[in-house]
Structure 1
Amino acid sequence: MILSNDFKGQLAIEYIFWLGISFILILNMVNMATDSDELNRAITAARSGAIEGANMNSFAVFPEKSFDEYESNKERINFPSSIRILRIDAINCGFNVSYQKTKIQLIAYVSAPGISQKTYRDSLGSRINYFMRRSISKSFGTENITNSLYNPAFSPKYVFTTADVRWV
């Protein structure tokens, strides 16, 4: 096959063009995978924290101030019960201008057939949410940029808040 002089260098230019586009696409896919990995890591940490918060009830281990309140007002919380974390949903609330990060709201769905009083469920829900946020903060090493309640919790690209626990 004989090439005419009209096509000299065209193959090289097309090759460089396609190579450049391929490089840009690969970088975008790596970036999307990194974002997805960060969000999955945060949700896994939240689930671990929720389980830890729920198990605190089973072990009846509380901070002293909370235990004093539970002992005098909410005795039922001090006895073991079966609390199950059913699922944790993550709702993307969009970009938050205040934090310059994407805001994610986490909602834990919990089952505790033995605990029916609203005040008990509210206390347990607060503890579960606290441990979810704490676990996320510890997972990303961001404890120093949040408050003592870990509200909100941060990762490099996201800010996490928790909604009231949903009792099923």
Structure 2
Amino acid sequence: ARGSFQGEVYVFESVSPEKVQAVLLLLGGREVTNPCPPSSHVNNKRSNLPHRVASLMRFREKRKERNFDKKIRYTVRKEVAQKMQRSRGQFISSKAKPEDGSGSATSWDGSQNWGSDKQPPGAAACHHCGISAKSTPMMRRGPDGPRTLCNACGLVWANKGMMRDLSKSPVPLAISTELIDGNS
């Protein structure tokens, strides 16, 4: 339908001419001899109703079929991921909340207490490069089990599935850490 208002011509493809004339009349345009009956608008809504009901039914059926089962798409960390707690398919923290008072990250004197008092089983040094566990941010899982590789070796193992090339390092890491630890 076409309509004009204040010299501008507007084209509305999906709107009936009666509706365009009614809007133009409301905006102060020319008077129309046969204004559209108000029931035509209600009839249009009723014709859309079955389509909307069908869409809502499809949505509700899909919502019922949602699957929150464990879905793991990687192999290196599959074992860890299967053991982690989940809520509606998402990983959730297994640590105690800070307001509980137990297991808080910082003690009363401000020193950090990130783990329990007992050390989890693991290596004192990286099984691959020999760096001390104290000299790396964290020990990571390797082919020999959890906490057997240093951060660098563990990341390469997790991402590439092979051990890190130590020949590219200018100074062997085990020797450099012994020098640093020995001088202090």
Q: Same fold (TM over 0.5)?
A: no
Q: TM-score with structure 1 length normalisation?
A: 0.22
Bigger radius of gyration among the two = 2
Task: Choose between structure 1 and 2 for higher RCO, CA contacts under 8 A separated by at least 6 residues.
Answer: 1
Q: TM-score with structure 2 length normalisation?
A: 0.21
